[in-house]
Amino acid sequence: MLVRIGSRGSRLALTQAEQAAEAIRRPGVEVAFVPITTAGDRDRKRPFGEIGARGVFVKEIEEALLAGRIDIAVHSAKDMTSADTGGLAVGAYLLRDDPRDALVGATELRPGMRIGTASARRRAQLLALDPTISVEPMRGNVDTRLRKLRERGLDAIVLAACGLDRLGLGAEIGARLDPEQMLPEAAQGALALQVRTGEEERVAHADDPETRRRVAPERQCVATMGAGCLAPVAAHHDGTTLQGLIAHEDGLWIERRSGEDPQALARELVELAAAHAAAGEPSLQA
C-alpha cells in the first residue's frame, strides 16, 4: 500500500516528514513524499499578518489532504490553526521534542541587544523583559536566519530549539530559554500527523498520549483567545500546569496566568487584556 505524505519542502520540513514516515511505516506500507509550497513559503518578505491569518504554512497542505492528493499531512503543530479544520483531524502527535525557544549567537539576554525574530510572541516577551532590546524582523528558513544573523551583525536571533535539534544544529544554541523566561508557542516542539476525519487509524499507532495530553489544551487555550498569527499570546503545559500569556505587542504590559481549564484560562487572559484597554493602556493588537 502506498501512503502519500505531504509537507512543506524546506530541509527542516522534509526532515520532519521523514520522522513521520519512520513512525508510521509497517510491513507492506510504502511511503512517497509530496512537497507542497504554502503561502508562507511563497512570500518570504512580508510579515505573517500581511499574508493571511494563522496557518500560512498549512492551508495548501490541508487543501491537498481534503482533495485526496495526499493521505497524511505533516505539520509543525505550532504552525497549525488553533482549531481543527473541518473534515480533518490530528490522528497523531509524535513524541514531543524540546518545546523551548533558543537564543542563537549569544549565551544570555543582555541590555541593548539587537535580536532578530519574526514572532510577535517572542518580540513582546523580549521587550517586556528588557525594553532596551532592539527586536528586528527576520523571515526565512533556519539556514537563512543563521546566515542573516551574521550578515546583519545582530547580537542574536531566537528560534525554536526543536528545529535546530532536528537539523543537527543544536551546537548553534547559546541558551535554551526557560519557559518561565519565554513562554513557548502553543504546541511548539510537537509534530502533528493530520488525516481526513474517519481515517485516524492510518496513524493512530504513532500517537504519543502524553504529548497529546499537553498539546491539546495549549491549542484549545489559544483557540479560545481567538488569536491571529501575529497576536502576542502563548500557552504551554509542562506536564503539571497549563500556563497562558497575553501581551501588548511592544511588551508594554504582559499578563501570565495558570489554570486547569484551557477555555477558562483563555477567558481570564482576554478579560485582563480588556482591562488594560479600559484603563486607557495600549490594547492587544490581534
Instruction: Report how far residue 84's alpha carbon sits from residue 3's, in angstroms, rounded to the nearest whole number.
Output: 22
Residues 8, 215, 195: CA angle, nearest 5 degrees: 45
Instruction: Report how far residue 178's alpha carbon sits from residue 184's, in angstroms, rounded to the nearest whole number.
Output: 9
Q: What is the sign of the dihedral through the CA atoms of 35, 36, 41 and 42?
A: positive
Residue 212 DSSP one-character state: H
Which residue in this structure is represented by grid cell 481549564? 261
Cell of 25: 511505516
Cell of 271: 478579560
Helix (H) or strand (E) holding 30: strand 30-35
Asked if residue 70 lies in contact with residue 6, where contact means CB atoms within 8 angstroms, the answer is yes
Asked if residue 251 lies in contact with residue 128, where contact means CB atoms within 8 angstroms, the answer is yes
**Closest Cα to residue 128, out of 91, 183, 172?**
183
Q: Could you give the residue numbers annotated as active site?
A: 79
